[in-house]
Amino acid sequence: MTTPQTLLAKLWAAHEIMQREDGTSLLWVDRHFVHEGSHHAFAKLDSRSKKVAAPELTFGVVDHYAPTRAGDVAPDIRRMIDTLGRNAKAHGVRLFDLRDPGQGIVHVIGPEQGLTLPGLLINCGDSHTSTHGAFGALAFGVGATEVAHILATQTIWQKRPKTMRITFEGVLGVGVSAKDMALHWIAQLGADGARGHAIEYAGSAVEALSMEGRLTLCNLSIEGGARLGLVAPDQVTFEYLKGRNFAPKGAAWDQAVEDWTKLKTDSAAIFDQEVAFDAADVAPTVTWGTSPEDALPITGHVPDPDQLGGAKQGQARAALEYMGLSAGMRLQDVAVDEVFIGSCTNGRIEDLRLAAKVLAGRKAKVPGLVSPGSAAIKKQAEAEGLAQIFTDAGLEWADSGCSMCVGMNGDRVDAGKRCASSTNRNFKGRQGRGARTHLMSPAMVAAAAVSGHLADVRPLLEGRS
């Protein structure tokens, strides 16, 4: 009888070319995504006069610096985009550039194009590569030196991470989404709670999520310190992928589904850690501090640093000072200056639908930007009338890109301004120098927009099916 295996163990074995005596494995990389930030890696390749080893498995996309609004593009941003174009051309890499109908955020278009598939090993020089694990792919972010190594060899040296299973059983409440599940577990376990681990998300509440929801959940794995996130592929996964551009067709599709069906943790397999949550306990959640672990239900209050112990006390005090909040105030009394909906975390069609459901027939009290996760999502949202709802509410409807999540393209939050944001990081200076970020679901961002302050989305959904 064979030893019961976790999904991680199966994926690892399928990609392991060899293992060194020190336990480091050489892994085969099935898909490698590059973006403007990959210029350091291409420079390293050029300095060694090397070519991309497998250009047919390498895909480039303009996202981090993609302009989302009409107007002049700053020369350094233009240079970043042009450099990627030049590198892609020189190495024969398919590039989704700004005018390509397939353009969008790398972690949105991978699945959308059917480039992301169950059972693949996927790397990208971006920490949110964990997103693709939603398909049951072994997907993790790497740095520039490793990007250069993958370009040169189509392989990567890695030690197998430990395993952690996070289970959500039960049914999520109305107005509660995958974003809330993620902030909920990260608040419980900490921003380094899953450090060194591969997370497998399981349980009835995870199985009930759409692909969009699973992508959000896996995307945020890195914010809890995990190396990667996984959801075992199922019928929802297969239905999402069938017919997509680069997804297998015909006989290859049938064999794929047969292979993918085996990609699940055996029932008696042992995880290094097991954590379980009740889906009914997850509330619409917002962050109050400068780490994703600083998250609480919207019905809560800003914590009092004096009531926290040890190092946590100083950390909370510094966070409140940066965020301009006072201890004990109701989270729902925190006034916001602007809102942002988009990013690889929550810029998908379902996210836009949920936000639009709250915004329909209402006016935003603060300005805001909506940047769809891809050009295709933009088109779809316009066809579905969602774009009209955003603009009728007074929000700006922009092109797709990483935009205000990371501020590289010039979409920034000004110093001292407070933004309700559907993004992934409330780090100091992330959305712009001195910017104050509150993370939440797109529906909660919409609630903040129409309220002018952090707000519970649930009452705003009453009577809206």
The helix or strand, by DSSP H or E, that contains position 202, with its residue range, turns out to be strand 197-202
| Residue closer to another protein (CB basis): 70 or 251 | 251
| Residue closer to another protein (CB basis): 80 or 386 | 80
| Residue closer to another protein (CB basis): 260 or 277 | 260
Q: How far is the CB of 18 from another protein (least distance, A)?
A: 6
**Residue 173, both tokens:** 């409440």
| Residue closer to another protein (CB basis): 148 or 231 | 148
Q: How far is the CB of 119 from another protein (least distance, A)?
A: 7
| Residue closer to another protein (CB basis): 85 or 170 | 85
d(CA 220, CA 129): 10
Torsion of Cα atoms, 134 then 139 then 144 then 145, to 10°: 170
Q: How far is the CB of 327 from another protein (least distance, A)?
A: 19
Q: How far is the CB of 317 from another protein (least distance, A)?
A: 11
Q: How far is the CB of 138 from another protein (least distance, A)?
A: 12
| Residue closer to another protein (CB basis): 357 or 417 | 417
Residue 399 DSSP class: -
| Residue closer to another protein (CB basis): 408 or 445 | 408
CB–CB of 371/326 below 8 Å? Answer: no
What are the Cα distances from residue 188, in Å, to 180, 271, 325? Answer: 12, 19, 22
| Residue closer to another protein (CB basis): 65 or 185 | 65
d(CA 362, CA 187): 32
d(CA 437, CA 289): 8
68 CB-near residues (< 8 Å, 6+ apart): 369, 371, 398, 399, 400, 401, 403, 409, 411
| Residue closer to another protein (CB basis): 197 or 214 | 197
285-287 and 295-297 strand pairing:
antiparallel
Q: How far is the CB of 22 from another protein (least distance, A)?
A: 4
Q: How far is the CB of 351 from another protein (least distance, A)?
A: 21
d(CA 45, CA 37): 14
Q: Per-residue DSSP letters for 335-372?
A: B-SEEEE-HHHH-SHHHHHHHHHHHTT---SS-EEE--
One-letter identity of residue 121: L
Residue of 288, 315, 304 lying closest to 437 (CA atoms): 288
Q: How far is the CB of 23 from another protein (least distance, A)?
A: 7
- Would you say how long the chain is, in residues? 465
3-state secondary structure of 278: strand
Q: How far is the CB of 315 from another protein (least distance, A)?
A: 5
